[in-house]
Amino acid sequence: MTRNNTVPQALPPTILSYAKDLANICSLAGLACSLLAIYFSILGIYYAAMIGMVWAVAFDWADGLVARKMKGRTADERTFGGQLDSLIDIVNYGVAPSVLLLSYGKYEPLFLIAAFIMISASALRLSYFNTFGFSGGSKYTGLALDNNGIILVFIFLFESLFSAGVFAITLCVSGLVLAALNVSRLKTPKLSTKPLHVYMLTMYTVAITVVYGWKLL
């Protein structure tokens, strides 16, 4: 008679247990901001959409800072946080800008093609780095996706200077250029890891919120 000496394996944590992680809370807050940006883009309330987009970047940077300062995180918690951040990034910097472009372009087929290219570039970039990781050092290969939100929100400040048709083309070209830079071999600095850049983004986020909030009044 044989005895089964197999040690029972511990059950994995529940999905919702990761929602208590402060860094993941920041990531989900950024996702909420992007959802609001998408919502207001569809409604045509673009200034509110800009506020949502810039706060999505702020929370994205915050989750990295919080994660690096948290002690005692397990390898599984770090892996889960990285995967969550990556999945949310495609919404923040791929889907939200694409919906903005589609809405502003009155859902014309030309803008649908451009939106697909923008989302595809985001997906390709994230998949590449999820597979091969970062090479280290102080620079990224290609333009980091968070720059898409920062730059597009800035470009939209000049929307009132152009006709709707001209600015729609400007927005389209800007999105395509950013998509090309996202998947390029251009070396760009890692901005989110330096305290000075974080402070600058904080001031930028507050300033953008004030400007677009004033425009909404």
The full DSSP string for 31-65 is: HHHHHHHHHHHHHT-HHHHHHHHHHHHHHHHHHHH
> What does the pLDDT profile of the chain (217 residues) look like in tens digits?
555 566 567 778 899 999 999 999 999 999 999 999 999 999 999 999 999 999 999 999 998 888 888 888 888 888 999 999 999 999 999 999 999 999 999 999 999 999 999 999 999 999 998 888 776 666 888 999 999 999 999 999 999 999 999 999 999 999 999 999 999 999 888 888 787 888 999 999 999 999 999 999 9
Predicted local confidence at residue 135, as pLDDT = 62
User: Measured between alpha carbons, how far is 104 from 42 in angstroms, rounded to an integer?
Assistant: 9
First to last CA, the chain: 82
Residue 54 tokens read as 């810039």
Give the separation between CA 118 and CA 175, rounded to whole angstroms: 7
Sign of torsion over alpha carbons 102, 104, 108, 109: negative
In 92-150, beta strands by DSSP E: 139-141
Beta bridge partner(s), residue 188: 140
> pLDDT at position 189, please?
85
pLDDT at 4: 59
Question: What is the predicted pLDDT for the residue at 102?
Answer: 97
CA 192 to chain centre: 12
CB under 8 Å to 61, separation ≥6 — which residues?
146, 192, 198, 201
Output the CATH code of domain 22-216: 1.20.120.1760
In the chain, the DSSP E strands lie at 139-141, 187-189
Residue 125 to residue 144: CA distance in whole angstroms: 9
Upper half-sphere CA count for residue 160 (Cβ side, 13 Å)? 5
pLDDT score, position 11:
78
What is the amino acid identity at position 197? Answer: H
Domain ranges of the chain: 22-216
